[in-house]
Structures are given as C-alpha cells and as structure tokens.
Amino acid sequence: MRQFDLSPLYRSTIGFDRLFSLLDQASFADGSAASYPPYNIERTGENAYRLTLAVAGFGEDELSIETRQNAMTIKGEKTARADGQNREMLYQGIAARAFERRFQLADHVQVTGARLENGLLHVDLVREIPEAQRPRSIPIGHGAPRPVEAPKAA
C-alpha cells in the first residue's frame, strides 16, 4: 500500500487538522480489523442516513453505541455463557469475536435511534443544520439600497 507523508500539509494549512488525521488513520488501518463486522451505509432521505452492521450472534446487551463530538463508536463483546456448559466446537464459521468500529460523523449529524433485527444492527442518523447556518435568500431591489436584516434569535 502506498504511504503518503502529510507533514508538509500540516505546516501550510490552518484548521484542517481533523481531515489530515482521518487520512492518516485510513492509510494505516489494518485490513483485517477494518473489515469486521461488515456494514452498509445508505441514504434514506435528504438529510437521513442508516448504518447497518452485520452482528450475527450478538444480543442487545452485548452491543453498545457511543457518540462523542463528531465520532460514533460501536462495540460488541460476547459474554461468557452462564449455563455452565463446556462446548467443543468442531467448526466455527460464525465469527463472534469482540469488535470496535469507529465512524467519523459530519458536523450536525446525530444518532436518532438504533435497533437489532435478524442479526443486523440498524443505526439511524440525521443531519440537522441549525437555522442560523441555513442558507437564506437576500432580496434584490431597485433604487436606494435596503439594509439586510439580521436573522431573528430563536
């Protein structure tokens, strides 16, 4: 895999630290760890998304979702069997190993809900842009210039 040195970009830019950190993380990611569990990201509306992870064999109590700033972490950890039975596996094709998956969220993206259904974990996300940051239309008039009104505080 190609390695890129991003240090010259750190010296000549301001405010893009998070972007370059993401590029660094992507270039050094371990291929095997990055592929488990498999997932899909789909757009379900103009500002709505759904992340679906294949977590066969995990129960609701063995999964956790945490958001902090612009990052979401999904963890899965199998608990020991409480029935006391020792089982000898002849073949184990269902990977039930612990995992931790991190996703970077864009600004103003929030998790609205999650559900576990048929071995798939569905996480719904929505992007809610604050009213003050939404584009607004400026009327164009003729004659004397009219002052632009400031947006009203909510």
74, 53 Cβ separation under 8 angstroms: yes
**pLDDT score recorded for residue 32:** 47
> pTM for the whole thing?
0.63
Q: Tell me how far apart the alpha carbons of residues 32 and 35 are, in angstroms, rounded to a whole number.
A: 6
Percentages of the chain per state (helix, strand, coil), in multiples of 5: 20, 30, 50
Residues 6+ apart with CB under 8 A from 75: 63, 64, 66, 98, 99, 100, 101
**Residue 112 · residue 124 · CB < 8 Å:** yes
Locate the domains of the chain by residue range.
Answer: 1-35, 37-80+91-136
Write out the chain's pLDDT in tens, 154 residues. Answer: 456 666 666 655 556 666 666 666 665 555 545 578 899 999 898 889 999 999 988 889 999 999 998 889 999 998 766 666 677 878 877 777 889 999 888 888 889 999 999 999 999 999 888 878 778 888 887 776 666 666 666 5
Q: Does domain 37-80+91-136 have CATH number 2.60.40.790?
A: yes
Gap between the Cα atoms of 132 and 154, Å rounded: 9
For residue 27, what are the contacts with CB-CB under 8 A and spacing of at least 6?
1, 2, 3, 4
pLDDT the model gives residue 13 = 59
pLDDT given for residue 125 in this prediction: 92
pLDDT of res. 73: 93
Q: Residues with Cβ < 8 Å from 77, sequence gap 6 or more?
A: 62, 98
